[in-house]
Amino acid sequence: MIEAMGRASWPREHIQMMSDFWANLQEHPFHPSSAPFEQKSLLVYQAEQRRLWHIAIANPHSGYNLSIINEYLLRDTKERLFWEERTRHESERNSLVSPFHSSDNTYF
């Protein structure tokens, strides 16, 4: 990827920042974790922040240093993933449990 950035004439500071970004993600305590949502939150954070950085960099003086992991946003991402998964499980459970008897729509 770094090689492709160089061939695409990316500025050296952007290439270094991306390299540092990926290195910092690899070194983050969530990376080796077996706790639910920690590795997944790193992946989602990486994808979202990289996309947002590309949008921001197109505007003069709007870019930011992507290599610095924003712990607040990372933890927010982890919490969001937790609640999305919990909501999905509750929806699945609720769809299996109906308050009506299927043949005559009466309560059990």
Q: Domain count of the chain?
A: 1
Q: Please name the amino acid found at residue 71.
A: E
Q: Is 101 part of any domain?
A: no
Q: Is 56 part of any domain?
A: yes
- Residue-wise pLDDT for 3-61, tens only, equals 999 999 999 999 999 999 999 999 999 999 999 899 999 999 999 999 999 999 888 87
The whole-number pLDDT of residue 88 equals 84
pLDDT at 102 over 60: no
Q: Is 76 part of any domain?
A: yes
Q: Is 107 part of any domain?
A: no
Q: Is 35 part of any domain?
A: yes
The whole-number pLDDT of residue 77 equals 97
Q: Is 104 part of any domain?
A: no
Cβ contacts of 49 within 8 Å, gap of 6 or more: 66, 70, 73
Q: Is 18 part of any domain?
A: yes
The whole-number pLDDT of residue 105 equals 58
- Residue-wise pLDDT for 83-94, tens only, equals 999 888 888 777
Q: Is 102 part of any domain?
A: no
User: Which structural domain, as residue segments, surrounds residue 7?
Assistant: 2-92
